[in-house]
Structure 1
Amino acid sequence: MNINASYIHLENILFFAHHGVATQETIVGNEFYINLRLKVGFARAIETDAVEDTVSYADVYTLLKEEMGIPSKLLEHVCGRIAERLFRDFPAIEEVEIKLSKRNPPMGADIDAAGVEMFCTRA
């Protein structure tokens, strides 16, 4: 079998964190969603059925939780930090696609969420 591409994804992960430009956001906090898609060659894991031959999404979640716990002003900064750490901690990751959304941001609008999305490849 030829595998053209393989991905691991985590969808709609909910975090409570203290990111934002406004002082109130850093004090009160807000809910954030992350959607993550990682290009990972896991052909060997298909054969071996061993988590060591892929990227554990449980380990990825732990990384996300740690990074979301570090307050930042900009979601762009948080995304960049997450992507850099994913590449550093998981050599098998070739590409990262991340979407980070803040629920009901304090901007005087009737809006479900606002956020940023980023696609990057290993340097």
Structure 2
Amino acid sequence: MDKITIKDLEVFCHHGVFPEETVLGQKFMVTAEFFFDIRKAGKTDDLNGSLNYAEAAQYIKKFMEQNTYQLLEAVVEHLAKALLLRYPFVEKVLLELKKPWAPILLPLDTVSVTVERRWHTCYLAIGANLGDKEANFKRAIQLLDEDELTRVTRVSDFIITEPYGGVPQDDFLNGALEIKTLRTPEEVLELIGSIEQDLKRVREIHWGPRTIDLDIIFYDDIVMQEETLTIPHKEMAKRDFVLKPLSQIAPAKIHPLLGVTVTKLYQELLNSLVPED
């Protein structure tokens, strides 16, 4: 991936654990690598298609001067988030923060912390069969998009499907969403849980009716299995109400465990549902 690098930018500011560090201040050195496609700028020779590194350097300096943290880890964490939000075309940032005057009473060159932060692509399934289903969908999408660390980038058609699981109930409205997020999988789960609570989610029995249901289907190509979260969603390959809308917005997305596309999974599921002669 293409990148622009600002190397060892010197900033005098007030970060540290000890009181004298936050009062007197000291020198820090920042290296920032911005990863994004610079082809447009290279072809057009137009700064509007790239990162203005002079402006970015000034922003880093101003951020570090106007914010105070005890830990280097906190400085780079908050700075990385601020840079990705300020320059949304940047896909990833790699930051190294050096502290050459670290008060450890031993000879050294620098102490440094390095972090890499990026936008992640996450796919969600959304469903509801209580209340005003479409209004609940639109409100859930709005709340996702209003989250500072998340933006909704694709929305499938809303489809009507029959209930799954054998519990008598109204038909479902289902769909799929693509989001770009700076949140971890666990933080995405926390976010969608808060949205479900905001919409007064009701789900009294397993496979039963609900006002809103949001599930993580994919998060980049990550594979994880924790007590509260499994990615990819373990039942997705069996659910046409997940695969049909997902195939609209991510037909070529490859299941990281099964090694086939969403379109292929959907076609295989449809074939399995065709009764034999």
Query: TM-score scaled to structure 2, two decimals?
Result: 0.42
**CA-CA distance at 1:104 after TM superposition:** 2.1
Which structure's residues are more often strand, by fraction? 1
Gaps of 5+ in 2: 120-180, 182-277
Match of 1:20 in 2: 16
**Letter in structure 1 aligned against 2:43:** E
Q: Deviations over 1:47-97 (max 9, x none)?
A: 111110011101211210111112211111110111111111111111110
Q: Is the 8 A contact 1:67 1:78 kept in 2?
A: no
Between Structure 1 and Structure 2, how many residues are aligned? 119
Q: Which of 91, 94, 100 lines up with 2:91 in the alignment?
A: 94
How far 1:120 moved relative to its partner? 1.5
Q: For residue 105 of structure 1, report the CA deviation from its aligned partner.
A: 0.7
**What is the RMSD of the two structures over their aligned residues, measured on CA atoms?**
0.9
2:37 equivalent to 1:41: yes
Q: Report the equivalent of 2:207.
A: none
Helix, strand or coil at the partner of 2:10: strand
- With normalisation by structure 1, the TM-score equals 0.92
Question: Of residues 70, 73, 78 in structure 2, which corresponds to 1:76?
Answer: 73
Return the letter of the residue paired with 1:83: A
2:59 is aligned, of 59, 63, 87, to 63
Quote the Cα distance in structure 2 between the aligned partners of 1:73 and 1:108.
Answer: 18
What residue number does 2:46 align with?
A: 50
The aligned runs of 1:99-110 (5 Å cut-off) are: 99-110=96-107
Q: Which runs of 4+ in 1 moved over 3 A?
A: none
Identity of aligned residues (%): 26
Aligned 8 A contact 1:9 1:36 in 2: yes
Give the counterpart of 1:111 among 104, 108, 114. Answer: 108
- Structure 2 distance, partners of 1:112, 1:29, is 18
